[in-house]
């Protein structure tokens, strides 16, 4: 039964969840919130929805780049390099981004009579991103359920799943991870050095996937 | 101490809260989500912020009118007439609107180092608007606190306060309610017949306020 909306960035995690739950997903929503890498990741979100025949919306949120503080944003500082869980990565937090994306998706879900909203936050996100932790997800699900007539729920099945295990799920589903985007710098090719690139390389390597992503030299 | 963001529509309730908490409010945010009455109410929000010397932002959310179902929206059906708590008023619900506005305000608050977000939902809203009830507010406050580094909290001091008592607070503060907007139809003058007009007239009359609002004949 198609009863779900998914928040789809075009990265490894949400693309995996899109394929894993394709039978339940009626609508995928991507948000262009003015990050340096939105223009690189959203075309992959669109591509996978086309492959699966799932309706896809792109919602611009220009006020985030206007008023929020984060190195991830176009008007923000340089993206830090290093490991994904390093303290320096805190500058990449976009305050309450998942709260905003989930709330909009919940409103669209209720407008369409869809009872579930899925998001692909994962265990490796917890160190740096407070709006990826189980306590936040539980509270948002309570807010969604109590704040809608049809009691929309938030589902975040990878909250306690490591990146390597997400990649293994995708491997079984035959997902081509070269058709996903991770790099926060959003340049022509993945930089290979920022936290999310390092995490991507580690997971694909550990899973034994032939990584055909092009990285900067 | 100026540590708060307020969600300010330009209606009776949020304008009263603006004056009551003026000493704590660093920033007021209005949302233009494509309702029939946004263009009438937002200038009053701006006016009161100017009176009080409080910074005011207007954030457009055009995707709401594009993708959401509600008679409140420009592309929605006609606004129903009758009492504010009538079942017919359900068509005016904009799904999860308060969740969306609160989430954006929480992100801005954290970006500015402000620890509180205020919203002026009141006791009379509960019958029709699920995202005005105490359970929703508590869940959103938990989400805001757990999803931010500075543990932003949501404050909704009128959740259990009746409209008449809000108006009495404003009366003591000397607020000019003619400089507020309620009518959902958003025409030149207040219609005097839709749910929120009926509620407005009842509260101002019961409080013994000389209501100088111009209503349609």
DSSP A66-102: HH---TTBTTS-PPPBS-TTSGGGGGG--TTHHHHHH
For chain B, the domain total comes to: 1
Domain of B156, CATH number, reads: 3.40.50.620
- Residue B31 phi/psi, 5-degree rounding, is -115, 125
B147-195 pLDDT, tens per residue? 999 999 999 999 999 999 999 999 999 999 999 999 999 999 999 999 9
Q: CA dist B51 to B10, B44, B179, Å?
A: 13, 11, 12
Q: Does residue B217 belong to any structural domain of this protein?
A: no
Min distance B204 CA to chain A CA atoms (Å):
29
Check pLDDT > 90 for residue B86.
Answer: no
* Residue A31, strand partner residues: A59
Min distance B170 CA to chain A CA atoms (Å):
28
What DSSP string describes A99-122? HHHHHHHHHHHHHHT--EEE----
A51 sits in which H/E element: helix A38-52
H runs (alpha helix) in chain B: 12-20, 38-52, 62-67, 97-112, 134-146, 163-173, 195-206
A21: confidence class by pLDDT, cuts 50, 70, 90 = very high
Q: Once rounded to an integer, what is the mean pLDDT over residues B37-44?
A: 98
- Is some CB atom of chain B closer than 8 A to the CB atom of A106? yes
Say if the Cβ atoms of A103 and B111 lie within 8 Å. no
- Is some CB atom of chain A closer than 8 A to the CB atom of B150? no
Q: Does residue B215 belong to any structural domain of this protein?
A: no
ipTM over 0.90: yes
* Residue B29, strand partner residues: B7, B57
Q: Are A159 and A134 in contact (CB under 8 A)?
A: yes
User: How far is the C-alpha of B36 from the C-alpha of B74, rounded, in Å?
Assistant: 5
Check pLDDT > 90 for residue A96.
Answer: yes
Q: Are B33 and B63 in contact (CB under 8 A)?
A: no
Q: Does residue A168 belong to any structural domain of this protein?
A: yes
Nearest to A200 by CA among A124, A101, A134: A124
A150: confidence class by pLDDT, cuts 50, 70, 90 = very high
Check pLDDT > 90 for residue B65.
Answer: yes
- Is some CB atom of chain A closer than 8 A to the CB atom of B59? yes
pLDDT for res B143: 98
What is chain B's mean pLDDT, rounded? Answer: 96
Token pair in block for residue A86: 């390093």
Q: Is A90 exposed, middle or buried (0-12, 13-18, 19+ CB in 10 A)?
A: middle
Min distance A48 CA to chain B CA atoms (Å):
22
Q: Does residue B214 belong to any structural domain of this protein?
A: no
Domain housing B177: 4-206
pLDDT for res B88: 87
The packing angle between helices B163-173 and B12-20, to 10°, is 50
Check pLDDT > 90 for residue B25.
Answer: yes
User: How far is the C-alpha of A129 from the C-alpha of A121, rounded, in Å?
Assistant: 9
Nearest to B199 by CA among B164, B156, B148, B165: B164
A102-133 pLDDT, tens per residue? 999 999 999 999 999 999 999 998 889 999 99
Residues in B touching A98 (Cβ below 8 Å): 147
CA atoms in the 13 A half-sphere facing the CB of A139: 25
Q: Pseudo-torsion of CA B177, B183, B188, B189, nearest 10°?
A: -60
> Which residue's entry shows tokens 């090719």?
A189
Residues in B touching A94 (Cβ below 8 Å): 107
Q: Once rounded to an integer, what is the mean pLDDT over residues B101-125?
A: 97
Q: CA dist B156 to A181, B5, B187, Å?
A: 40, 12, 29
pLDDT for res A14: 98
A88: confidence class by pLDDT, cuts 50, 70, 90 = confident
Min distance B187 CA to chain A CA atoms (Å):
25
CA atoms in the 13 A half-sphere facing the CB of B103: 32
A48: confidence class by pLDDT, cuts 50, 70, 90 = very high
Q: Are B106 and A96 in contact (CB under 8 A)?
A: yes
Q: Does residue B22 belong to any structural domain of this protein?
A: yes
Closest chain B residue to the Cα of A130, Cα to Cα: B147
Q: Does residue B213 belong to any structural domain of this protein?
A: no
Q: Does residue A90 belong to any structural domain of this protein?
A: yes
Say if the Cβ atoms of A140 and B147 lie within 8 Å. yes
Listing from the earlier edge strand, what are the strands of the sheet with B4-7?
B55-60, B25-32, B4-7, B116-118, B153-155
Q: Does residue A154 belong to any structural domain of this protein?
A: yes
Token pair in block for residue B70: 């509600």
- Residue A67 phi/psi, 5-degree rounding, is -120, -10
A183-192 pLDDT, tens per residue? 999 999 999 9
């Amino acid at each position: 039964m198609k009863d779900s909306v998914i928040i789809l960035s075009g990265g490894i995690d949400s693309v995996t969840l899109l394929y894993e739950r394709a039978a339940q997903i009626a609508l995928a929503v991507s948000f262009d919130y003015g990050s340096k890498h939105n223009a690189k990741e959203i075309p992959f979100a669109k591509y996978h929805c086309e492959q699966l025949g799932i309706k896809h919306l792109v919602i611009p949120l220009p006020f985030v780049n206007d008023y929020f503080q984060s190195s991830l944003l176009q008007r923000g500082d340089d993206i830090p390099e290093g490991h994904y869980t390093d303290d320096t990565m805190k500058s990449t937090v976009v305050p309450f981004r998942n709260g905003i994306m989930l709330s909009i998706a919940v409103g669209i879900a209720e407008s369409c009579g869809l009872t579930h909203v899925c998001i692909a936050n994962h265990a490796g996100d917890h160190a740096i991103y407070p709006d990826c932790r189980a306590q936040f997800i539980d509270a948002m699900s309570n807010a969604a359920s109590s704040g809608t007539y049809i009691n929309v729920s938030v589902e975040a099945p990878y909250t306690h799943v490591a990146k390597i295990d997400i990649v293994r799920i995708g491997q079984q589903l035959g997902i081509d991870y070269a058709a996903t985007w991770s790099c926060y710098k959003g340049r022509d090719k993945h930089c290979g050095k920022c936290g999310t690139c390092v995490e991507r390389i580690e997971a694909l390597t550990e899973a034994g996937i032939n990584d055909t992503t092009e990285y900067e030299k």
